[in-house]
Amino acid sequence: MSERWAFGADPLPQTVRAAALLRRVTDLLVALEGEDDAVERLIADLEDAEATLRPVVPPDPAPRVGPAADGDGRVYLDHAFSIGAYNPCFPEYEIVVDDEGRAHGSVLFPIAFEGPPGLVHGGVVAVFFDCVVQHHNCEVGLAGKTTSLTVRYRRPTPLLTPLHFKLERAVGDDRIRTSGALWMGEKLVCEAEVDAIAGFRGNLPVASPRRGQQP
């Protein structure tokens, strides 16, 4: 198997801890039956954190990548693997890539990703497939930008339910095609076909590392 294809900086340990907590708290917030003093305290704490953190991050929101690598923008975090580990807007999952280059894993969608009652929003399912396919491609060392993604919903995707998935890919010319399936036990929940450009590691732009605490 080729070397893993990573691009960008690793998330800070605090960022990983905060992402998981924010996702769990979101589950609780959307389940509340009425207003609560704890939420008022949370809002106040978040407003204080926003005011405190804003001066210590780069004022330019553009990532320091490519021609902007020496600029004043923000650090770009690696989006190849487990985005949900540091960004609560993305799902978390477990994935294993076998010696044959196939992949399988598991996912459990929290309430934060609800669409219809008790079910996962279909757009989140599409995001999930895009994430795990890119993770798979980067793990085996040949990846590139997604060019198309098709999801076929066979039955509603349930929240708070252990699900498992499988991925198989084929590489031809300058394209990577992945077929994926998401299962609830023996029941097929949905299928996906994802096409990506087969890129070259040497063509990756420069990504600036962290520069430490901003003044």
Cα 165 from Cα 187, distance rounded (Å): 11
Q: Are 57 and 43 in contact (CB under 8 A)?
A: no
- Give the pLDDT band of residue 214 (cuts 50, 70, 90): very low
Please name which of 108, 114, 128, 126 lies closest in space to residue 20, comparing C-alpha atoms. Answer: 108
Cα 93 from Cα 180, distance rounded (Å): 14
Q: Are 80 and 7 in contact (CB under 8 A)?
A: yes
> 74-89: per-residue pLDDT in tens?
999 999 999 999 999 9
- Give the pLDDT band of residue 2 (cuts 50, 70, 90): low
Tell me the chain's radius of gyration from C-alpha atoms.
Answer: 19
* All domains in the chain, ordered by first residue: 13-200 (3.10.129.10)
